[in-house]
Amino acid sequence: MALDEKVITEAIIKRYTEKLLDSLSCDVVIVGGGPAGLVALHDLAKAGWKTCLFEKRLSIGGGMWGGGMMMNEIVVQEKGKEVLDEFGVSTNQFKEEYYSADSIETVSTICSRAMKAGGRIFNLIGVEDIILRDKKAAGIVINWATVEMASLPIDPLTIESKYIVDATGHPAEVIHVIEEKVDARLMTPSGKVEGERSLWADRAEHTTLDNTREVFPGVFVAGMCRSPN
């Protein structure tokens, strides 16, 4: 059978539209498709929560693809190895309590497992704002990432959700929007975004766990978004 370009186009538009329409109301929306966002997507979807992830870039994985300084290896300790073991990612012991893993295998495996668990990913869509109801987050405001890049005056659309996870890494994009636009304190020591600090890996490991929590009603932070180091 000869390929029909019209049928191909119709299938792409119809299936994508169906997927997007089914995602207009979610239990959880995750903003940012790095490792923290992908693991959250996997765990929440596996637990039965209707969860969608929005990533403004073409590819998911955040900065993990490049490992350290574009050398595509990552290093984890025992607790991190347990997580990678759960996903089926291969690890190799380097020294006592230090394990290396291929960053490409890590990202692709976690992404695949997250989608197989029922999570849904929309790439090339950025989050401009949150929906606010009675001083609680009730969803996100979205637009094509290229609209922002081209500075086009195009109105956005919305996704309703019970909870939002800001997994946008160091930029902490969702939290900065709340700080700028909402007349309310964040659940942080200063009531504002605490900001970044210089590198201290051991301390950052602990603060990542301690600060993965709700910072505004209905909004949680995860990954490097919550770590100042």
Instruction: Assess contact for 145 and 111: CB atoms under 8 A.
Output: no
- For position 27, what pLDDT does the model report? 99
Question: What is the DSSP pairing of strand 219-221 with strand 157-166?
Answer: parallel
159: which residues sit within 8 A by CB, 6+ positions away?
Answer: 23, 24, 25, 26, 29, 52, 54, 139, 140, 142
CATH number at residue 191: 3.50.50.60
- For position 225, what pLDDT does the model report? 81
pTM: 0.95
pLDDT per 10-residue tile (average), the chain, 229 residues: 97 99 99 98 99 98 97 97 98 98 99 99 98 97 98 98 97 96 92 88 87 96 75
% of the chain residues with pLDDT over 90: 87
114: containing domain? 24-62+104-221
Number of structural domains in the chain: 1
Query: Cα separation of 21 and 60, whole Å?
Result: 22
Query: Cα separation of 202 and 82, whole Å?
Result: 18
Domain assignment present for 144: yes
Beta bridge partners of 125: 144
Domain assignment present for 67: no
- For position 194, what pLDDT does the model report? 87
Domain assignment present for 96: no
Domain assignment present for 55: yes
Domain assignment present for 123: yes
Domain assignment present for 189: yes
Domain assignment present for 86: no
Domain assignment present for 85: no
Q: What is the pLDDT of residues 23-41, one digit of tens each?
A: 999 999 999 999 999 999 9
- For position 139, what pLDDT does the model report? 99
